[in-house]
A and B are shown apart, each in its own frame.
Chain A
Amino acid sequence: MSDVRLGHDVPDFSMNTYDPVAHGFSKVTLAGQKEAGRWTVLFFYPADFTFV
């Protein structure tokens, strides 16, 4: 089940990323997004090499 609730703090997360603009691997953390004062949209989809 889900740990997150609307209107509440979400837990920190850390994920490795591929950045197509910088054309390299990087990492995203919620802590980093908060520190940078950025909004975050997480857009989940089932799998690469399929429709999104």
Chain B
Amino acid sequence: MGCDVFTVSTDTEFVHLAWKRSEKELANVQFQMAADPTGAVSKQYGVYDDGSGLALRGTFIISPAGVLMNSEVNFYNMGRNVDELMRKFKANLYLAKKPDEGCPSKWKDEGDKTLRPGPEMVGKVHEALNG
């Protein structure tokens, strides 16, 4: 898919290794684990919590051109849905190829209905979605 996922926390890469080594739940993890011990990158993305020195649960999709295409930030006690992340990522890939189209909320994968915003759709979104 031409995509790399990096998990990021304010731990060092050495702690990442120790955690990966000890936690059986991580046995199959293949993502690279990135270290942001100064919080510099977390601050750039607005997820750094000064009080704790930790990063909130933020997910960011960056295009190969280096443009931020998606952002989502959850508070500490709210988990993320990987299906929704995949949906957003696939939509970004699709829209990179078809920039004139729009992926509605129920879009899941290539072949699903898309919208073409334009004058004829004004006031007719229902028809466009259900036609």
Contact = CB atoms under 8 A, between A and B. Distances in A.
A40 B4 contact: yes
B11 to A, nearest CB: 4
Interface in A5-25: 5-11, 13, 15-21, 25
Interface size class of B (residues with CB under 8 A): 35 or more
Interface residues of A, number: 41
B3 A18 contact: no
A49 to B, nearest CB: 5
Contacts, number: 178
B64 A39 contact: yes
Given A41-B3, A42-B45, A48-B16, 17 more contacts: A9-B68, A10-B66, A15-B6, A15-B8, A16-B35, A17-B32, A17-B34, A20-B20, A25-B13, A30-B66, A34-B65, A37-B2, A38-B4, A39-B1, A39-B92, A44-B45, A46-B57
